[in-house]
Structure formats: structure tokens, C-alpha cells
Structure 1
């Protein structure tokens, strides 16, 4: 009886190892098929981030002007915060640039 239990356990261990190997191979294949950013897209994202940095400077300069109306000030504030968010594409583009060069 002990022999039968022991052989069943060993068979299950082998099945588990084969299953684990198949799952890891499937995961590797899926990871390889995922689209990655190309060099061109990464450089484009960095350039977009630089453009947003320039517009951020322009919006900041415009907000310091005291002669603008309240509505225009709100528009400039919205553009200022939008440019702050747009600048985040620079490190994201650098990350993908480094990743694509590996």
C-alpha cells in the first residue's frame, strides 16, 4: 500500500513539473509577442516632452503678467498643469529607449 501511494505521489510531482515547464514557456512566448516601443517612438516621446517643457516655460512666463484677465489666467493655468503632465513623457521615452537598445 505504501508503494502504491509513493508511486502516485511521484507521478503527480512529474506532472506538476511538466505543467510548470509548459506554463513558463507559454509565459515567455506571450512576453515575446507583446509589442514594444521602437527607437523612433521613444525619440518622438522625448521630443514631445521637450516641447511640453518649452510650453511650460511660456505658460509660466504668461502667468507672471499682471495685465491678463481672469479667464485667460485660468486658460494659462490649465495649460501650465497640462504641460507639467506632458513633461512626464521624457522619462517614459527614455525608459523605452533604453529598453529598445538592449
Structure 2
């Protein structure tokens, strides 16, 4: 089995087997026990910082790739601009997809 200690402290994307399917997982590699790796992901939800950590056994790992560190956090303020591009043009520009406003929402009782 391979050792993944070279990736410790780095952001990685791991593809691993879970039954008959292969799933991706992205997070910071925080530990390598010699039998499993441990990924950790921190995020903010409703103003609280939360942490999710999971263990992936060596025999389930299909592929592991290093990912570049995120320049901006997902909850950071978006730059203000006056242009109104479509989500399609924003994706072409390499920006994060924007939410489309919902119209004709039902009135609350």
C-alpha cells in the first residue's frame, strides 16, 4: 500500500470506492495512520463554524490529487459590479455560478 504522508496539511481531492460506486471527497489531509487517511473540511453555516472529518481506508482509495488552496472562502462577499451577466457567461469567465432569482413566488399566508 502507498503512503500518503506527502499530502499532509494540503488540500486534496480523493476518489474512493463506496460499494459499487466511486465518490469524490475534497478536504485537507490531516492524518495518515498507515491504513487510512483522514480528511477534514471546515465550513460556516448560519453563522457557526462547523467541521466535518472522515476516514477513508487505503484499500478504498482510487485516486488522490492535490488541489490548489482556495483564494476566497465561499461565504465571502462578492465583488460589486453593475454588469448583469447570465449564469452561463459567468461560468465561462471562470467565476462561481450565481443564483438565479426566483420569480412569481407564492404569497405567504
- Fold match (TM-score > 0.5): no
Query: What TM-score bracket applies, with the shorter chain setting the length?
Result: under 0.3
Q: Which has the larger radius of gyration?
A: 1
Larger fraction in strand: 2
